[in-house]
Chains A and B, each alone.
Chain A
Amino acid sequence: MKLDLLTSLYVFMLAAFIGFEVIRRVSPLLHTPLMSLTNALDAIAVVGAIIMAGQYHAHRATLAKILGTIAIVAATSNIVGGFLITDRMLRMFKPSGPKKP
């Protein structure tokens, strides 16, 4: 348990550093798509909700099922909506055509 925690803290720390380095390089031009993309990725929390809603629980099974299902709905709508709108926005970003020398 103690070791697990420590490993998790290492993972968190390294991911935060990678996050800072990678995201610092994203041009301000794309900050809106950045936010909608990270939002979609963040909705990976759906995996926790899936296990919660589908697992066998000896106690409070109804609570887990109801809240788990609502959580799945919330996260899935972020995944679907987030990826859709990010792609829509990125498709709009076009460089100048070669019309002018």
Chain B
Amino acid sequence: MSNVLASDTFIEITYLIATALFILSLKWLSSPTTARRGVFAGELGMLLAIAGTLLHHGIVEYKWIFIGLVLGTIIGVPLGEVAMTAVPQRTALSHAFGALCVTLVGTTEFYLRTPGVPRFLMGVLSLEVILGSLTFTGSLMAAGKLQEILPQRPITYKGQNIVNLGLLAIAIVVAGMLVAHPEKTQLFPLIVGIPLLFGVMMIIPIGGADMPTVISLLNSYAGLSAAAMGFVLDSKLLIIAGALDGASGLILSVNMSKAMNRSFSNVLFGAFGQEQTAVAGKQETRPVRSATPEEAAAILAAASKVVIVPGYGMAVAQAQHKVRELYDALTKRGVDVKFGIHPVAGRMPGHMNVLLAEADIPYDKLLDMDDINGDFPQTDVALVIGANDVTNPAARTDTSSPIYGMPILDVDKARTVMVIKRSMAAGFAGIDNPLYYLDKTLMLFGDAKSFVGSIVRELGGGHE
């Protein structure tokens, strides 16, 4: 028996070290210079914890464990090699996998222990499977929308929020009944099935621009469900890892909802993607000034300070490498080029930074909204590529605008504004952008990739 005790203590020690490494891993992620060390610490912690677990005296059969580990690796490697443009859907898919693991373990745990599950355990077990299963289907739906397998358009109907909240309420009531009477095992499938349905319903009204918030929120749910699993299995390591993940998702969700000027409770209760009241109808046909690539190139070449504002349109057009060529051509002429990045630009937090870093743009040129906004009054040219609502000055001035109060990039304060855009169609929010009618604004109509390419050719840059 003392052998068992010694091996259990050994396992606990590997878990303790793994926990410390996980916290260090996130701490080192705070700066790009130490971030890779953080990944290494995380890997080491993970390896230790798994190796320790494999020594667990209760394990009698290894065959299925190894089949699982090998299959997981076979699936995991290609998921680690996806293109940077596919990172949002990959992230959503990995939330789904994490939630699937938690839900399956929770379900098995229930059927192994029943009858006679203690009340408290039944409570956290319910939390685990409810959060796990809604995150599973919700994340699959989000991944499907991002991959464009499912229609990206938000689908809304009357009473949607009531239906959704009703579903969730039923699941919680059933969970309550199970806590009161843990012997009623026939109720258990309901607290898996209803949240599975809820997860689907929750994502149906979500449009593309809401994705950063939704992915963050699902991240948080996945973490909390793992923490609940830690309570069920009495594993401190799992509680801590889940709490860290939950905290991270929560911070990102709060950031995203702030950046979209939504109250956090509005986001929490799944009330995003509310019917966008069609204000587009009253759009007037005011004159805009447009320019050719030659004119744009001449203005850029004469500037001394340029800020490029990328949006999801740049990702769609795969224009990031052309943007890098533009960055190179301008930098070579001595122009100071920086990038202004809105927190919700793209489809997930930090999406634009990853795309631009992939295109070899130095990270110290990528500035967050709060850091760049003070620069616009001294900026000669603000070049907006595939972004719309996040540059709309109506958010600052027009109290009747649906996006009033949303923090924006103050591109209208630059001396000249150039906007690369396919057409005059309104952005995601369906709101007209007064920026386009300013005297200092030049519209560059065309595909982002080919337009930037033409500017680069005019500047005499291009493929090195």
Chain A residues proximal to chain B, CB less than 8 Å: 1, 4-5, 8, 11-12, 15-16, 18-20, 22-57, 59-60, 63-65, 67-97, 100
With a 10 A CB-CB cut-off, give which of B60, B84, B233, B247 has the most chain A CB atoms. B247
Query: Which A residues are in CB contact (< 8 Å) with B222?
Result: 39, 42
- A38-B245, A51-B53 known; A84+B81 contact, CB < 8 A: yes
**Bound Cα distance from A93 to B356, whole angstroms:** 9
Query: Which A residues are in CB contact (< 8 Å) with B107?
Result: 67
Contact B49 A47 (CB under 8 A): yes
Contact B58 A95 (CB under 8 A): no
- A30-B350, A32-B87 known; A100+B246 contact, CB < 8 A: no
Q: Which 9 A-B pairs have the closest CB atoms?
A: A76-B72, A84-B80, A80-B76, A72-B68, A19-B247, A31-B350, A81-B79, A54-B59, A32-B350
Contact A86 B95 (CB under 8 A): no
- A29-B350, A49-B105, A50-B53 known; A36+B94 contact, CB < 8 A: yes
- A19-B243, A51-B56, A60-B111 known; A94+B39 contact, CB < 8 A: no
Instruction: Check: B357 CB closer than 8 A to any chain A CB.
Output: yes
**Bound Cα distance from A67 to B91, whole angstroms:** 23
**Bound Cα distance from A25 to B87, whole angstroms:** 23
**Bound Cα distance from A30 to B363, whole angstroms:** 10
Contact A29 B105 (CB under 8 A): no
**Bound Cα distance from A64 to B62, whole angstroms:** 14
Could you say which of A45, A50, A52 contacts B226, with CB atoms under 8 Å apart? A45
Contact B80 A37 (CB under 8 A): no
- A32-B350, A79-B76 known; A73+B68 contact, CB < 8 A: yes
With a 10 A CB-CB cut-off, give which of B39, B219, B246 has the most chain A CB atoms. B39
Query: Which A residues are in CB contact (< 8 Å) with B323?
Result: none
Complex A-B: 6 CB contacts under 8 Å: A25-B30, A42-B223, A44-B237, A50-B68, A70-B104, A95-B363
- Interface class of chain A by DSSP: helix
Contact B36 A44 (CB under 8 A): no
Residue of A nearest to B368 (CB): A28
Q: How far is the CB of B254 from chain A (nearest CB, A)?
A: 10
**Bound Cα distance from A44 to B202, whole angstroms:** 27
**Bound Cα distance from A88 to B239, whole angstroms:** 28
Chain B residues proximal to chain A, CB less than 8 Å: 18, 22-23, 25-27, 29-33, 35-36, 38-39, 42-43, 45-46, 49-50, 53-54, 56, 58-62, 64-65, 67-69, 71-73, 75-82, 84, 87, 90-91, 94-95, 97-98, 100-102, 104-105, 107-109, 111-112, 118, 120, 215-216, 219, 222-223, 226-227, 229-231, 233-252, 255, 331, 341, 343, 348-351, 353-354, 357-358, 360, 362-366, 368
Residue of A nearest to B60 (CB): A56
- A44-B241, A81-B94 known; A54+B64 contact, CB < 8 A: yes
Contact A42 B72 (CB under 8 A): no
**Bound Cα distance from A81 to B246, whole angstroms:** 20
Could you say which of B226, B343, B360 contacts A42, with CB atoms under 8 Å apart? B226
Could you say which of B60, B235, B240, B363 contacts A94, with CB atoms under 8 Å apart? B363
Q: How far is the CB of B352 from chain A (nearest CB, A)?
A: 9
Could you say which of A36, A45, A91, A95 contacts B101, with CB atoms under 8 Å apart? A45
Contact B244 A18 (CB under 8 A): yes
Contact B234 A4 (CB under 8 A): yes
**Bound Cα distance from A17 to B72, whole angstroms:** 32
**Bound Cα distance from A41 to B29, whole angstroms:** 13
Contact B43 A83 (CB under 8 A): yes
Contact B366 A47 (CB under 8 A): no
Could you say which of A12, A18, A59 contacts B239, with CB atoms under 8 Å apart? A12
Apart from A22-B23, A67-B105, A71-B105, 14 more pairs, CB < 8 Å: A12-B240, A16-B246, A28-B349, A31-B348, A32-B350, A38-B219, A38-B248, A47-B238, A50-B50, A51-B59, A73-B71, A77-B75, A81-B76, A95-B32
Query: Which B residues are in CB contact (< 8 Å) with A77?
Result: 72-73, 75-76, 79, 94, 97
Query: Which A residues are in CB contact (< 8 Å) with B360?
Result: 92, 94
**Bound Cα distance from A32 to B85, whole angstroms:** 12
Could you say which of A8, A41, A43, A67 contacts B104, with CB atoms under 8 Å apart? A67
**Bound Cα distance from A64 to B156, whole angstroms:** 40
Contact A8 B231 (CB under 8 A): yes
Q: How far is the CB of B393 from chain A (nearest CB, A)?
A: 23
Query: Which A residues are in CB contact (< 8 Å) with B227?
Result: 12
**Bound Cα distance from A66 to B194, whole angstroms:** 23
Q: How far is the CB of B47 from chain A (nearest CB, A)?
A: 9
Q: How far is the CB of B333 from chain A (nearest CB, A)?
A: 12
**Bound Cα distance from A48 to B50, whole angstroms:** 10
Contact A74 B72 (CB under 8 A): yes
Could you say which of A38, A76, A94 contacts B357, with CB atoms under 8 Å apart? A94
